[in-house]
Structure 1
Amino acid sequence: MTRELVLEGPPDLRRIYATAALKRAAGHDGLPDLRVVRRGVTVDPDNLARYARACQFTLSERLPLPYPHLLGFPLQMVVMSQHDFPFPLVGSIHVENVITVSKPLTLADPLDVAVHAENLRLHPKGRQVDLVTEVSSGDQTAWRGVSTYLARGAEHPEAVASEPPTLDALESVRSGPTWRFGERTGRMFAGIGGDWNPIHVHPILAKPLGFPTAIAHGMYSYSRCVAALQPRLPQSGVTSHVWFRKPIRLPSTVRLRTAFEHHRMLSLLEGVKRDLDHAVLEHTW
C-alpha cells in the first residue's frame, strides 16, 4: 500500500541538499512507494511577483503555466531524498518535462499538491525516472507535470530515450528574442524556486560535479521561453513539452526561434551563435 506523507509546510531544501551531498544512492532497483502531499497551499504573491519579473511573464491573478512546478519541486526533493530512492539526489539531471493544464489556476485558489515517483527505466547513458506532480483545485486535477531525471551510470545502448520532434519547421525561422543569462542567474532563480543544487550556484561548487561553470536551471530557461510564447497559448487544454539538451553555462547569450502552426508551436532555444541546442519545446492544444 502506498504510504502518504503529509507535510504541513514547505521542506527545507538547503538542508535536504546538504544531507544528500553526504549520502550515496542506495542502489535500489525499485522506487519508494510514497506519495508526498501538501494540502491547502496558498501562493505567496511576493514570490509570484519575483518569478514573473525574473521570467518576464505579465503579472496577473492567473498563475503562469510553469509556476506550479515550483510548488511541487520541494516535494519531489523529499521523494528523491528517501533512503530507498535509486538515484543520488545531487548529480541527477533534469532531462525532460511535460506539463498539462486542464484548468487555469489563480493566485486566490487554495491548492493541493501531490508528488510520487514512477516509471524507473533504462536510458542509453544510465537510468531515468519520472517525478509526477499533480496540483488540484477543488476535486479536479488542474495541472499535471512529469519531470524526468537521469542518473548517469552503466550504459545501455539498447534502451530507448525520448527524442524531440524534428526541427524542419524551424529552417526558415532566422530570428527570435535574445537573452543574456549572467553569472548570477543560478543564484537568482534558486532564491525564487528553492532549487539550490550546487551546479546552479557557483562554478567552484559545479566543477566537482562535472561542470566547468555554474549552469542555468532548466526550469528557468524553459520559463523564459514560455513567457515569450504565452500570448499565443490558450489558458487551458494545453500540453507543454520540453527536452533539455545542452546545459546553458553561465554567463551565456541565447536565442529562441519558434515555428507557429495550427494548434502547435515548435521552438528551439539555442546559443546565439547557433552552435548549441539548449532546449526543444513543443506546445500542443
Structure 2
Amino acid sequence: MTKEITLDGAPDLRRIYATAALRRGNDSDTLPDVRYSRAGIRVDVDDLVAYSRVCRFPVTGALPSTYLHLVAFPLQMQVMSGDRFPLPLLGAVHVENRIEATRPVGVDEPLDVSVWAQDLRPHRRGRQVDLVSEASVRGETVWRGISTYLSRGTEHADTESSDPPSTEQLASVGAGPLWLLAEGTGRSYAAVSGDWNPIHVHALTARPLGFPTAIAHGMYSYARVLASLGPRLPASGLTSRVWFRKPVRLPSTVRLRTAFERSRTLSVLENATGEIEHAVVENSW
C-alpha cells in the first residue's frame, strides 16, 4: 500500500544536497512505495517574476508550464533522497522531461501537488527512473510532469532507449536566435529555482562530479526554448517533451532552430556551429 506523506512546506533543497553525498544508493530493483504531497500551495508573485525574468517568460496572469515543475521539484528531491531510494541523488542526470498542460493555471489558484517514483529500469549506461508530478486545482488535474533521471553504472548495451525524433528536417531551417550563456547562468537559475546541485553552480564543485565546467540546468534550457516559442504554442492541451542530449558548458553560446507545423513544433538547441545537439524539444497539441 502506498504511503502517503503530506508536507506543510517545501523541503529544504540545500539541506538535501548537503546530505546527498552520504548516500550511495543500493542494488534494489524496487522503488519505495511512497507519495509526497503538498496542499493549497500559493505562488509567491515576486518569486514568479524573478523566475520569468531569468527564463525570459512574459509576466502574465498564468504560470509558465515549466514553473509548475519548479513547484514540484522539491518533492521530487524528497523522494530521491530517501534512504530506500535505490539510485544516488548526486550524479543523477536529468535525461528527459515530459509536460502535459491541460489548461492555463492562474497565478492566484491554490495548487495541490503530488510526486512519486515509478518505472525503475535499465538504461544502456546504467539505470533510470521516472519521477511523476501532478498538480491539481480543487480536484481538477491541470498539469502533469514526468522527469526521467539516469544514474550511471553497469551498462546494458541491448536496452532500448527513448530517442528523440530525428532533427534532419531542421537542416533546411534558417538560423534562429543565438543565446550567450554566462558563466554564472547556473547560479542565476539556482537562485530562482532552489536547485543548487553543485554541477550547475561552479566549475570547482562540478569537477569532482565529472564535469570540467559548471553546466546549465536542463530545465533552464528547456524553459528558455518554451519562452521563445510561447506566442506559437496553445494555452491549453499542450504536450511538451524534451530530450537532454549534451550538457551546455558554461559559459557558452547556443542557437535555437525550430520547424513549425500545424499542430507541432520541433526544436533543437545546439552549439553555435551546429555540431552539438544540447536538447531536442517537441511540442504537440
The normalised TM-score by structure 2 is 0.99
Give me the whole-angstrom Cα distance separating, in 2, the residues matched to 1:132 and 1:259. 29
Aligned match of 1:256: 256
Aligned match of 2:271: 271
Give me the whole-angstrom Cα distance separating, in 2, the residues matched to 1:227 and 1:198. 26
AA aligned to 1:34 is: V
Q: Deviations over 1:54-103 (max 9, x none)?
A: 11111011001211000000000000001111110000000000000012
AA aligned to 1:104 is: P
CA RMSD of aligned residues (A): 0.7
Aligned match of 1:200: 200
Aligned partner of residue 151 in structure 1, secondary structure: strand
Aligned match of 2:88: 88
Aligned match of 2:15: 15
Q: Deviations over 1:199-251 (max 9, x none)?
A: 00110110011000000000001100000001000001010000000000000
Deviation of 1:139 (Å): 1.2
Aligned match of 2:283: 283
Aligned match of 2:58: 58
Establish whether residue 186 from structure 1 lines up as the match of residue 186 from structure 2: yes
Runs of 4+ more than 4 Å apart? none
Give me the whole-angstrom Cα distance separating, in 1, the residues matched to 2:133 and 2:51. 19
Alignment: residue pair count: 285
Deviation of 1:184 (Å): 0.6
Aligned partner of residue 66 in structure 2, secondary structure: coil
Q: Deviations over 1:237-283 (max 9, x none)?
A: 01000000000000000000000001000000000111210000000
Give me the whole-angstrom Cα distance separating, in 1, the residues matched to 2:169 and 2:43. 38
Indicate the larger mover: 22-31 or 239-248.
Answer: 22-31
1:219-234 map, 5 Å: 219-234=219-234
Percent identity, please: 58
The normalised TM-score by structure 1 is 0.99
5+ residue gaps, structure 1, are none
5+ residue gaps, structure 2, are none
Q: Deviations over 1:93-123 (max 9, x none)?
A: 0000000001210101000000000011111
Aligned match of 2:72: 72
Aligned match of 1:209: 209
Question: Is the contact made by 1:26 and 1:83 (CA closer than 8 Å) also made in structure 2?
Answer: no
Aligned partner of residue 157 in structure 1, secondary structure: coil
Establish whether residue 161 from structure 1 lines up as the match of residue 161 from structure 2: yes
